[in-house]
Amino acid sequence: MKHIFPTHQSRAAEGILASTRIKKGDIVPNNSHFDTTRANIEFVGARALNLLCDEGLDNRSEALFKGNMDINKLEKCILENEPVKILFAC
């Protein structure tokens, strides 16, 4: 199968994705990158950008869910960077 890479775990799959699809200077926005995901992205010279909502940064917040990506921060990221450098968001 031409486009399938069987892996033993998702960290290995992330490593393959980063090394084959992401290049130096690219930007990968996310709500909050897991440490190995960040490492795989930054290893190839790209930028792992955390765009967590403000509630997620406030440990006293009583918000029911604190893991959303802040859409306004994402919009700002798109406006301030070349959109072709933003391959995908996680």
The tens place of each residue's pLDDT in the chain, 90 residues long, gives 677 878 888 888 889 989 999 999 999 999 999 999 999 999 999 999 999 999 999 999 999 999 999 999 999 999 999 999 998 887
Give domain status of residue 76, yes or no: yes
Helices assigned H by DSSP within the chain: 10-21, 35-43, 71-80
Give domain status of residue 64, yes or no: yes
Q: Is 13 helix (H, G, I), strand (E, B) or coil?
A: helix
Task: Give the relative orientation of helices 10-21 and 35-43 as an angle to the nearest 10 degrees.
Answer: 20
Instruction: Please give the biggest Cα pair distance in the chain.
Output: 49
Number of domains in the chain: 1
Extended strands (E) in 9-72: 27-30, 47-50
- Structural domain containing residue 30: 10-85
